[in-house]
Structures are given as structure tokens and as C-alpha cells.
Chain A
Amino acid sequence: MENPLHHFELHPLIPIHLFGFDLSINQAVVMMWVVVAAVSLFFWTAARTRQLVPTKIQSLAEISVEFLRGLVIENMGERGMRFFPFIVTLFFFILFANLLGLIPGTYTVTSQIMVTALFAIMVYVMSLIVGFTVHGLHFFSILVPPGTPGWLLPLMLPIEVISQLARPVTLSVRLFANMTAGHTVLYVLFGLMLAGGVLIGWLPFVFTVVVYILEVIVAFIQAFIFTILATVYLGDAIKLH
């Protein structure tokens, strides 16, 4: 059996080298295009027949967008609605990347830490920009939780700095680790099934099916957590305590 992490490796399909940068088109890039196309197709189909009595896909799109709207209002307030398009895009891109990656033979974009880290850093830098624009230098008080006694300050300050800096890291590592771990488990179980033959191969196969169902749920949950935390971090910057 080959290395279970082998299928995460990227191979350039069309090598492009510009100004010393490796801009090759690999599976992940192609998969991102597919994800963007799938999301666009989903919303195009949903919005094509704008009826009062919605079609199935239309109501699915409406429910999910309504749900995300509630999330944004709750965590960021009315002022946060200007980030609403960003949040919806983030959610649907991650969700479709997770789900499409579960189809055998495709590539899971979110299993690359570069992809998830870029999203997380984007969200975090955005929250910093928002915080300093809205509150100015007063934004530094995010490092002091409300109700901290003065003598605890030298202890709380490094802890808060660490938890602030841990935010983009946790955000990216969680999505990346969940996707990588899930796919590795699926790969190993499937390999066991092939190695086991007819006699005992059915046992790993049952587990493969169970884990696959779990992975579909995880795909939703992780997209959901990433989006919630993005709204929370941006909301923290807008509201400041």
C-alpha cells in the first residue's frame, strides 16, 4: 500500500514560471475553478426562476442566505451587514470545496494549509483594519478583557496577546486538520478493504461508508465554524467588547 498522504501532493498540470514565481496550474487550482463554477451554478439555478412559490433549489439558497444573515446580524450588528457578501462567499466556497472534495478522484482544496491560512489571515487582517479604522488606537484595549483588576494586567497582557495571535492559526489549522485527517482515514480504510479481499474486506468497507457519512457532516460543520468565527472576529473589531 502506498503512502496514505500521497493523494494530497500537488502536481503541476501546466507549468508556468513567471519572474521567479511558480504559478503552475495544479489540481488544486483546477479544483478551485470547479468550486467557483459549482457555487455560481447553484445560485444561478436558484435565481433563474424567481418565483413567489420557490423551487427546491431556490428555497435551499434562500434558507441558507437567510441563516447567514441572522448570523451576521447577531455577531456583528446592523453595521456588520456590509461584510455580508464576503461572509456568504466565504461560507459557500468552503462548503463546496469540502463537499466536492469528497467525490472520489477530485482534490480537496481545503486540505491545503496554504488555502485555509490565506482565508484565515485575510479575515484576521480585515478585522484589524476594521478595528483600527472604527476605534483608532483605542482598539488596543481589546487586549484587556473588561473587568480586569490592575494588578493582573502584567499577567493578562501576554495571555491576551497569545490568544489574539492564535486566532488566525486556530482558524486555519482546524479546517485544514479536519479535512486532511478525514481523507487520510478514508484512504487507509479503503486500502484495508482492498487488501482484505472478499473474506474480511467487508469490515473496513462498512467503516468506510460510516466515516464517509461522518465526513459529509464534518464538511458542513467546518464550513459553518469557519464562517461563525469569521463573523465573531470581525464583530469583536466592530463592537470592541
Chain B
Amino acid sequence: MAGPQDPFRQGLSFATRIGVEMVVSTVVGAFLGYLLDSWLGTRPWIMVVGVLFGAVAGFRSVYRLANPGDSPEDKNDR
């Protein structure tokens, strides 16, 4: 059983989580903005806002990951 206690494994799992979290949040924000733009015909303005909100959401997720105890999501999965 690969125990999560080993610092090397912990670091590796932490690293993969941070990278993916930031990129995906930004992309999801941009995609939501793109959808709203196509719907309302306001290209490209909502997408710009979406990228910003997505980036903020990504940073916030990483912040929560780096601060254990703040939310249940990061108690043991670092």
C-alpha cells in the first residue's frame, strides 16, 4: 500500500494537484464565458471576465490546498 505519509509522495501528489487545479479553473472560466458570449452575442467580453474569474478560482483552490484546516477538502489529501 502506498502510504500517503512519505514526504516525497506527498509532495508529488501536491504538485500534480496544484498544476491541474490552476489551469483547469482558468479554462473552465473561459469556456463558461465563451458559452455565455455565444448565447448573448457579446463576444468577447464575458469570456475576458470569465478568464479572470477562473484564474481567481484557481488561485483560491491552490490557497485552500496550501492552508490545511481551512476547509474539509484539504485535511489529509496534500
Centre residue among A63, A159, A218, A220 by max chain B CB count within 10 A: A159
From A63, A158, A221, A232, give the contact of B53 (CB < 8 A).
A158
Asked if A221 and B13 sit within 8 Å, CB to CB, the answer is yes
Contact status of A75 and B32, CB under 8 A, knowing A67-B1, A163-B25, A166-B57: no
> A126-164 toward B: CB 8 Å interface, digit per residue (1/0)?
000000000000000000010000000000001111110
Number of interface residues of A (CB under 8 A): 35
Check if A232 sits within 8 Å of B77, measured CB to CB.
Answer: yes
Query: Is A173 an interface residue, CB under 8 A from the partner?
Result: yes
CB–CB A225/B17 < 8 A: yes
CA A163 – CA B58 in complex, angstroms? 7
Contact A232 B73 (CB under 8 A): yes
Instruction: Assess whether A159 is in contact with B73, with CB atoms less than 8 Å apart.
Output: no
**Residues A222 and B72 in contact, CB atoms below 8 Å apart:** no
Chain A residue numbers with a CB within 8 Å of B71 are: 145
Nearest Cβ in chain A — how far from B22, in angstroms?
Answer: 10
Count of chain B residues near A, Cβ 8 A: 31
The answer, among A162, A165, A174, A218, for a CB contact under 8 Å with B12, is A218
Q: Check B13 against A166 for contact (C-beta < 8 Å).
A: no
A203 at the interface (CB under 8 A from B): no
Besides A63-B1, A170-B17, A225-B16, 4 other CB < 8 A contacts? Answer: A145-B71, A162-B25, A217-B8, A239-B72
| Pair B57/A236 contact, Cβ less than 8 Å | no
**Which residue of the partner chain, among B25, B50, B72, B77, contacts A166 with CB atoms under 8 Å?**
B25
